[in-house]
Amino acid sequence: MGKIICSFLFVLISSSSLCAKVNYFEQPIADQTIYDLSSRWHILEREYEDNSSVIDEREYSSLLNRFAMTKSIVSSLSYGGAVNVEVFGTQKKSFLQPGPLTSGELKYRGVRSLELYSQYLNLNRNIAFKIHLEGTLQDGRERNASLGGYNGSFTFKYLHELGALKIGGKIFSAVVGKKRIYRQDGEREISDPYNQFGKELSVLYEFERITLSLSGHFLLATDYVIRSPSYTRSSDKGFGVGGKLSATYHFKQSDLTLWHDRANQVFNVITVDPNLQHEYEIEEQSSGVGFRWYY
């Protein structure tokens, strides 16, 4: 947080070093609430490829707005929830091989998902444990581009302080896409849930009112399987990489953040012919602005 907020927290908790920890772990102090409002342009591409040539592709793009509220029970334990609303949503689908599905475009908007989460923070050791659940209300409806599904994750966070320079990290495990369903021209396509396990490393540098952050992650994923009445595509284990760049300006009791992030996952599809090199590639990127208010 900014210098004024650090002074405010110093009075309340008699520790100036606590300011950076509270800011990094995104956890309010006792009896405090954090309100978080953000808006980002989000693009998700899911491609099925043969020797780097696209066979079919789905691109989802939308302006995704998120409102979250986090409340501390005590200084070490917090809970919260969030709602994600999409506007200007578009799904573009391209199928280069003959089949029951045709290329086209869908428009959608509305409430995309709800989130619940809780975190335990040990300020003396600079570590935290977070549980996060997300459920999508769209539930595979054609008019909403079929983004139904449920996600869950468990994350271990840590922070090492070197004056103004701070090194943070996360070790995470997640279940992605439980009961996720896509609909294309009336044909239902189901993406089976798969697991992720990964590591994220962050470097933060704090000026008087500005914090710059650069982070990157690597993950391993279990099998990715797509099923429909027309076909079944089973892929082997995959991997993913990604990064995020952000800048935060600290006001008296609020923060303003700008960021851009990109991520990519690749899965090798199992085929009968060993000469075929089919794979699924999932690319995701977003640019956004967020405002956080401490009350």
Q: What is the pLDDT of residues 138-147, one digit of tens each?
A: 544 444 344 5
Q: Rounded to two decimals, what is the model's pTM?
A: 0.82
Tokens 């693009």 sit on residue:
43
User: Contact 268/257 with Cβ under 8 angstroms?
Assistant: no
CATH of domain 3-294: 2.40.128.130
What is the torsional sign of CA 160, 288, 281, 187? positive
pLDDT digit string (tens) for 229-238? 777 778 888 9
Buried b (16+ CB within 10 A) or exposed e, 190-201: bbebbebebebe
What tokens does 238 get? 């995959």
Residue with tokens 């999508």: 136
Domain ranges in the chain?
3-294
Reported as a single tens digit per residue, the pLDDT across 179-218 is: 566 655 556 677 788 899 999 999 999 888 899 999 999 9
**pLDDT at residue 244 tops 80:** yes
Residues 6+ apart with CB under 8 A from 33: 69, 70, 71, 72, 294, 295
Radius of gyration of the chain (CA): 21
